[in-house]
């Protein structure tokens, strides 16, 4: 299989059970989900439907009780701890509702951090971070600390950090939750633009207008996908290369 | 999606407030202003113009060399337009909501799987939301069009929230799922 056709994320018959016996909670029940390169997929569902568990499993932060989770073709369950950590650093970017920037680091240092953890030389890491910051429209704010940035700007920095180093899979957990309507839309536009350039994103949101930016919207109920809106990318269109 | 209520009369008056126009021109301008979300046919335009003229709100000009007539707004038309912009749209003036009626009936008819009626509607409404968002992304829409699209997106969002609410109520009351 060529790398081009390898899904960015593949979850096959995935279950996650917390606890045992009578106290067992089935967070996910035989879930199937595939995200192709270039796709933005939104996940919607009520609290307790398994959205967070899904995201944690996709990012290797939690392990499936049964089933397989593959990121860029690598099955997470078969990787050693070190290999899993490396895959998470290189292939997966996270965007959270509360930005999770490190307050004592500047915007550019926050973005460079995952690269430096991956042993990219500081000068090179900072250069890539500056470019990523410019790409999210924050050129010139390199040396600002998170406290000196607006919520929308902090989330842009977080997105830059999530995509720096060409990581192919962005996992976004309610990234617009703390932002006003217009700023939230700008964040979605940014995620959309990254996907149009070939990245993939899995977006958990409860805002229908924001889910509207996705190629597909997956509806989760009681730990399983019950329905989907939007057409799946046809193999032909996929192979022809998406815009 | 629901049929959108729109006063064609007032729409045409608003366009004529800018400058006198031919009938076909009004149709094109209306499409441009609303991003073709409420397409008008030429017949609707001329019927409406005839009524506006009858009511003294527009005046037809002289025929030009091609035999075509330009319409201009009158003072009475301007007053009518100001009145329209100054009056909020009452929720009760909108057409009855077919979806609400459908669900209200669904819970009373035995054997109807209301939860799946809700979910089918949810997927369909979300697909409309994706379509509108795609329209908004494509090209460089005018400010008017962009605001019209946003209005429709917020309406769909409200509908989706209401569907979530219906589902919660149905689950709590143990209605057939």
Q: Does A229 contact B124 at a Cβ distance shorter than 8 Å?
A: yes
From chain A, the residues in CB contact with B122 under 8 A are 219, 227, 229
B55 and B83 part of one domain: yes
- Distance of alpha carbon B165 from alpha carbon A185, whole angstroms: 24
B137 and B155 part of one domain: yes
Last residue of a domain, one of B46, B73, B91: B91
Taking Cα atoms as reference points, which of A232, A150, A137 lies closest to residue A190?
Answer: A137
| Count of pairs with CB atoms under 8 A, one residue in A, one in B | 52
User: Which residues lie across from B60 on neighbouring strands?
Assistant: B71
B101 and B85 part of one domain: no
B84 and B102 part of one domain: no
Interface check for A198 against chain B (CB to CB < 8 A): the answer is no
At what angle are helices A122-135 and A151-163 packed, to 10 degrees? 130
At what angle are helices B8-16 and B23-34 packed, to 10 degrees? 100
**pLDDT recorded at residue B142:** 78
The answer to which of A81-85, A222-226, B88-92 has the lowest mean pLDDT is: B88-92
Where does the pLDDT of residue B4 fall: very low under 50, low under 70, confident under 90, or very high at 90 and above? Answer: very low
**pLDDT recorded at residue A63:** 93
Give residue B160's domain range.
96-173
Nearest CA in chain A to B124: A229
Judge contact between A75 and A11, C-beta under 8 A: no
**pLDDT recorded at residue B114:** 82
B78 and B117 part of one domain: no
> What contacts A188, CB < 8 A, 6 or more positions away?
A176, A210, A213
B135 and B104 part of one domain: yes
pLDDT for residue B20 is more than 60: yes
Domain-wise residue ranges, chain A:
3-240
From chain B, the residues in CB contact with A229 under 8 A are 122-124, 126-127, 130
Q: Does A227 contact B119 at a Cβ distance shorter than 8 Å?
A: yes
B29 and B76 part of one domain: yes
The more confident residue out of B115 and A54 is A54
Judge contact between A199 and A72, C-beta under 8 A: no
Q: Does A208 contact B156 at a Cβ distance shorter than 8 Å?
A: yes
For an interface test with A, give the residue of B119, B120, B121, B130 to mutate (most A CBs within 10 A). Answer: B130
Determine, yes or no, domain membership for B3: no
pLDDT for residue A5 is more than 50: yes
Residue B157 C-alpha, separation from nearest chain A C-alpha, in angstroms: 6
Determine, yes or no, domain membership for B168: yes
- Residue identified by tokens 């689950």 is B171
CATH of the domain at B12: 1.10.10.10
Q: HSE on the CB side for A184, CA within 13 Å?
A: 22
Give the mean pLDDT of chain A: 89
Interface check for A180 against chain B (CB to CB < 8 A): the answer is no
Determine, yes or no, domain membership for B2: no
Q: Residue B48 corresponds to which tokens in the numbers above?
A: 């409406």
ipTM of the complex: 0.81
Q: Residue A212 corresponds to which tokens in the numbers above?
A: 């509207």
Give the alpha-carbon dihedral of B36, B42, B48, B49, to 10 degrees.
110
pLDDT digits (tens, 9 = 90+) for A62-80: 999 999 999 999 999 999 9
For an interface test with B, give the residue of A41, A229, A243 to mutate (most B CBs within 10 A). Answer: A229
Residue A24 C-alpha, separation from nearest chain B C-alpha, in angstroms: 22
CB-nearest partner of A208 from B124, B126, B168: B126
Q: Does A192 contact B157 at a Cβ distance shorter than 8 Å?
A: no
Q: Does B126 contact A209 at a Cβ distance shorter than 8 Å?
A: no
Hey, which bits of A61-173 come out as E strands?
A: 66-71, 74-75, 92-95, 169-173
How many structural domains compose chain B? 2
pLDDT for residue A240 is more than 50: no
Q: Does B133 contact A227 at a Cβ distance shorter than 8 Å?
A: no
Q: Does B119 contact A207 at a Cβ distance shorter than 8 Å?
A: no
As a CATH number, domain A3-240 is 3.40.50.300
B82 and B108 part of one domain: no
Determine, yes or no, domain membership for B152: yes
Sign of CA dihedral A148, A153, A155, A156: negative
Residue B87 C-alpha, separation from nearest chain A C-alpha, in angstroms: 26
B55 and B127 part of one domain: no
pLDDT digits (tens, 9 = 90+) for B86-113: 777 665 555 556 777 777 777 777 777 8
**pLDDT recorded at residue B37:** 67
Nearest CA in chain B to A193: B137
CB-nearest partner of A226 from B119, B157, B168: B119
pLDDT for residue B30 is more than 60: yes
């Amino acid at each position: 299989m060529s790398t081009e056709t390898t899904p960015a994320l593949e979850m096959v018959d995935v279950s996650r059970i917390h606890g045992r016996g009578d106290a067992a909670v089935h967070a996910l029940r035989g879930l199937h989900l595939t995200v192709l390169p270039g796709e933005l997929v939104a996940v919607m569902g009520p609290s307790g439907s398994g959205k967070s568990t899904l995201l944690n499993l996709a990012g290797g932060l939690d392990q499936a009780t049964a089933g397989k989770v593959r990121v860029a073709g690598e099955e997470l369950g078969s990787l050693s701890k070190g290999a899993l950590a490396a895959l998470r650093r290189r292939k997966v970017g996270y965007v959270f509702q509360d930005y999770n920037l490190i307050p004592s680091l500047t915007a550019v240092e926050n973005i460079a951090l995952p690269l430096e953890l991956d042993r990219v030389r500081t000068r090179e890491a900072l250069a890539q971070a500056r470019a990523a910051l410019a790409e999210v429209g924050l050129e010139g704010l390199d040396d600002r600390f998170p406290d000196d940035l607006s919520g929308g700007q902090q989330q842009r920095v977080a997105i830059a950090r999530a995509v720096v180093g060409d990581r192919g899979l962005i996992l976004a957990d309610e990234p617009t939750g703390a932002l006003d309507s217009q700023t939230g839309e700008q964040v979605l536009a940014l995620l959309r633009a990254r996907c149009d350039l070939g990245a993939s994103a899995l977006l958990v949101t409860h805002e229908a207008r924001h889910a509207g930016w996705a190629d597909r919207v997956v509806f989760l109920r009681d730990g399983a996908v019950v329905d989907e809106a939007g057409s799946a990318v046809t193999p032909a269109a996929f192979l022809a290369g998406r815009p | 999606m629901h049929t959108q209520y729109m006063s064609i009369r007032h729409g045409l008056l608003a366009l004529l407030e800018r400058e006198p126009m031919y009938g076909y021109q009004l149709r094109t301008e209306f499409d441009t202003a609303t991003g073709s979300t409420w397409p008008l046919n030429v017949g609707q335009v001329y019927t409406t113009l005839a009524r506006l003229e009858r009511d003294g709100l527009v005046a037809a000009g002289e025929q030009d060399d091609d035999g075509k007539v330009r319409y201009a707004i009158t003072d009475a038309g301007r007053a009518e337009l100001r009145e329209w912009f100054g009056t909020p749209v009452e929720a009760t003036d909108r057409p009855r909501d077919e979806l609400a009626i459908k669900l209200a009936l669904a819970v009373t008819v035995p054997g109807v799987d209301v939860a799946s009626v809700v979910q089918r509607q949810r997927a369909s409404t979300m697909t409309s939301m994706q379509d509108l968002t795609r329209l908004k992304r494509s090209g460089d829409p005018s400010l008017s069009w962009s605001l019209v699209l946003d209005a429709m997106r917020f309406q769909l969002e409200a509908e989706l929230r209401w569907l979530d609410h219906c589902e919660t109520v149905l689950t709590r009351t143990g209605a057939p799922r």
